[in-house]
Amino acid sequence: MVFESSLTISVPKAIRCDENGFDFFSRLAGDTITIANKNIIFDFGNCNWFDGNLCAVLGNILDGLKQRNNTLHFKGITENILNVFVRNKFYKNFISNTTPLLDSRTIPYERFKLFDEQLAKDIIKRELFDKPGMPKMSDDAQKAILLNIFEVCVNAITHGECEYVYCCGQFFPDQSSPEVSISFVDLGRTIKANVNEYLKANMTGNKTILWALGEGNTTKRGNEPGGLGLKLLQNLINYNKGSLQIVSADGFIELSNSKFKERHMTDYFPGTIVTIKLLLNDSNFYVISKEVDTDNIF
Amino acid sequence: MDINIKSFLDGNTALAPSKGYPIHDVIKEHLDNRQIVYLDFKDMELMTTAFLNAVIGKLYSEFTSDYLNTYVKIKYISQSDAVLLKKVIDTAKLYFKDPEAFDYHMKKTFKDE
């Protein structure tokens, strides 16, 4: 195999769940989408912070590069970032096939096809709730979180028309308010493309995400209703007092304190990133509010 | 006729709508023949709204609410799944009451903003 040339990508100083972080991934995905048969060097020399959950985004982009027969190299990774990458299995997947350190602070980097639903559920359940030292959540709270995670994954596969959903998470148990951040990523059709096509409209990325978050709103066609998954997720976030970020195309919407905030993206992400931040200090936050009579439910 | 949801799956988890279509088809077949269906959710641990829409939401395009109340009986469903099922049913009723009006309303809501 002949490699035509090398390409060096400089990773910015800090990769966080904010406009700068998502713009970096947007540029990276966009600029490399047609690149094949190259040596690609990721230079982390200037980078001193990388949010662990965002390994899901980087991993999704790197998988595409590998499929296009590029060879990936990494240099200048600081010890702190290297620790994050080793602990969440990102290192094992992309840098070196070493045994990851056992660590209770990560939800390891995974990609799901949802072909084996039972396995997907068992992995996420174990990684989220069976960590030593983590607050024990009520069964209803656990179930609500799992349900919403998979509503997001099913949405991505159905609407993004992608093969895999990528996932990675990071626990922060030592903060005054312990929390977990989990990101789900698909490189596929964006929410903006789906919604604008369905509505025959030309709305901004932010407006299309806000439309998709409305109860009952779905771009599915035919004799099957939908549009509940993202509404349920909002309810969960509001009960938990956590936060939700959705990035898709040039849209970036954040939900916290029961309010939506429209953020501004400079670049265009060719897929969707959903990041959920859940607080762990209220382990019984989810209470079923009503009884349903199933005798006459229809 | 008892239809056990779990018997159609490899475990106690149902996420994708594709897993729900075969169950929907069996229910529909019995309802077409005016046979009472006992839909048994025993041992199900996790079901998404996408799955429930495929199994049950779709039925509202084929049968009336009264017909479904007469011929479909729910068994062994957990309270949290019953809440979820009710949401799916309420959305389906709204959707199929007048799909064009539903679509128009949903589209107009945002295009006018």
Residue A10, in any domain of the structure:
yes
Cβ atoms A117, B10 nearer than 8 A: yes
Residues from chain A that touch B17, judged by Cβ atoms under 8 A, are 154, 158, 224
Domains: count for chain A:
1
Nearest beta carbon to residue A118 from set B13, B96, B107: B13
Q: A191 CB near a chain B CB, below 8 Å?
A: no
Residues B86-96, mean pLDDT to the nearest whole number: 89
Distance (Å, whole) CA A37 – CA A7:
11
Q: From the CA atom positions of chain B, what is the Rg in Å?
A: 15
Q: B100 CB near a chain A CB, below 8 Å?
A: no
Nearest beta carbon to residue B86 from set A143, A151, A292: A292
Tokens, residue B66 = 């009264």
- Per-residue pLDDT of A12-62, as tens digits, reads 999 999 999 999 999 999 999 999 999 999 999 999 999 999 999 999 999
Q: How far is A76 from chain B (nearest CA, A)?
A: 41
Alpha helices for chain A (secondary structure H): 19-32, 55-67, 79-87, 90-94, 117-129, 139-160, 191-199, 205-212, 229-240
Q: A227 CB near a chain B CB, below 8 Å?
A: yes
Cβ atoms A51, A88 nearer than 8 A: no
Q: What is the pTM of this model?
A: 0.88
Reference A276, options A226, A249, A250, A239; nearest CA is A239
pLDDT at position B106: 56
pLDDT at position A288: 64
Tokens, residue A263 = 């953020």
Q: A123 CB near a chain B CB, below 8 Å?
A: no
Residue with token string 């990458």: A85
- The rounded Cα A139 to chain-centroid distance in angstroms is 24
Residue A297, in any domain of the structure:
no
- Rounded to whole angstroms, the maximal C-alpha distance in chain A is 68
| CATH number of the domain bearing residue A269 | 3.30.750.24
Residue A262, in any domain of the structure:
yes
Residue A33, in any domain of the structure:
yes
Residue A221, in any domain of the structure:
yes
Alpha helices for A185-271 (secondary structure H): 191-199, 205-212, 229-240
Distance (Å, whole) CA A111 – CA A250:
24
Whether B45 sits inside 8 A of A211 (CB atoms) is no
Q: Give CA angle at A182 (A179, A183), nearest 5°.
A: 150
Cβ atoms A127, A209 nearer than 8 A: no
Q: A202 CB near a chain B CB, below 8 Å?
A: no
Of A113, A162, A230, A292, which to mutate for an interface test with B (greatest number of B Cβ within 10 Å)? Answer: A292
Residue A14, in any domain of the structure:
yes
Classify each residue of A33-43 as buried b or exposed e, where b means 16 or more C-beta atoms within 10 Å of its C-beta: eeeeebebbbe
Whether A140 sits inside 8 A of B58 (CB atoms) is no
Q: Give CA angle at A175 (A172, A179), nearest 5°.
A: 45
Q: A223 CB near a chain B CB, below 8 Å?
A: yes
Distance (Å, whole) CA B14 – CA A67:
30
Nearest beta carbon to residue A151 from set B48, B72, B85: B48
Domain ranges of chain B: 2-111
Reference B13, options A91, A151, A251; nearest CA is A151
Range of the domain at A258: 6-95+103-286
In order along chain A (298 residues), what is the average pLDDT of each group of 10 residues?
A: 75 97 97 94 96 96 95 94 90 78 81 82 86 77 89 81 88 86 92 92 95 80 74 87 94 95 95 92 71 87
Go through chain A and tell me how many residues it has. Answer: 298
Taken in order A45, A50, A52, A58, is the CA torsion positive or negative? negative
- Per-residue pLDDT of B57-83, as tens digits, reads 989 999 999 999 999 999 999 999 999
pLDDT at position A101: 66
